[in-house]
Structure 1
Amino acid sequence: MSEEDRSRLYAWFREHTDEPLAEYLMSCLAPAPLSDLATKTDLAGIDKRFERVDQRFDALFALREADRTEAAALREQDRAQAAALREQDRAERKSDLRSIKAHHYTVIGFIVALFVANLTIL
């Protein structure tokens, strides 16, 4: 039945009955020609296609999870390397600080010795 025929039939139902009954009667009729409606075989084919799509999505999700796991492992490795570099820098700064302090005390000692020597000369 064409859309034009459906519209005329609906209008006729509304003229001869009330609108809710016309709506109900139209809902009982197929909205398209029966040859255009999907059959169980069509739906089974669609289900198979969806199964294949689901399998592909499952494979993609598995790849994504593997990538996330790999990325997390790389982040942990990077964090461990950064922590090791920080510890190395701290150790180098401690040794640098010791040598700076020793040099500082040597200079201060030399200045004090010069000051005392200058006082004894005067």
Structure 2
Amino acid sequence: MSEEDRARLYSWLCEQTDEPLAEYLMSCLAPAPLLDLVTKDFLRSELEKYPTKDEVAARFAAFGDRMEAKFDQLAVQRDADRREFAAQREADRAELAVQREADRAEFAAQREADRAEVKNQCRWGLWCRS
């Protein structure tokens, strides 16, 4: 409301009621400088800078679709990693089984060599069981 409008309203209120009541009513109306008022055209031009509700909804939908695609890619990658790790685990188990058998054979050969040596020592009387 411009100052001119406020002055006209105040004088009308004074005619209709008494001056204290007119002053009270005018104090209830917040004064706004004319420079702070916004025109509809200015408001429209400012609002055009921001996306509409439909545009925001479309962006969120596109974002959701991208996130879903990323989650699908992660699931595929996770499954591939699981298969790869399972294959590696089986390969490691097979390698360890071969190593275990080699160790058993080596320890059995060492045990037989130790028994033969003990037997040989008993034959010469160096060491025997009682």
**Same fold by TM-score, threshold 0.5 exceeded?**
yes
| Structure 2: gaps spanning 5 or more residues | 11-19, 126-130
| Aligned equivalents of 1:33, 1:120: Cα separation in 2 | 119
Q: Which residue of 2 aligns with 1:17?
A: 24
Q: 1:110 aligns with which of 109, 113, 119?
A: 113
**Runs of 4 or more consecutive aligned structure 1 residues displaced over 3 Å after TM superposition:** 12-15, 33-38
Q: 2:37 aligns with which of 15, 32, 46?
A: 32
Highest Rg: 1 or 2? 2
Pick closer, same or farther for the CA change 1:74–1:116 going to 2, 3 Å: same
Pick closer, same or farther for the CA change 1:119–1:15 going to 2, 3 Å: farther
Give yes or no for the alignment of 1:95 onto 2:98: yes
Q: Which residue of 1 aligns with 2:14?
A: none
| Structure 1: gaps spanning 5 or more residues | none
Pick closer, same or farther for the CA change 1:69–1:103 going to 2, 3 Å: same
Percent of matched pairs sharing the same residue: 24
Q: Which residue of 1 aligns with 2:71?
A: 68
- Superposition TM-score, scaled by structure 1 size: 0.64
> By percentage of residues, which structure has more helix?
1
How many pairs does the alignment contain?
105
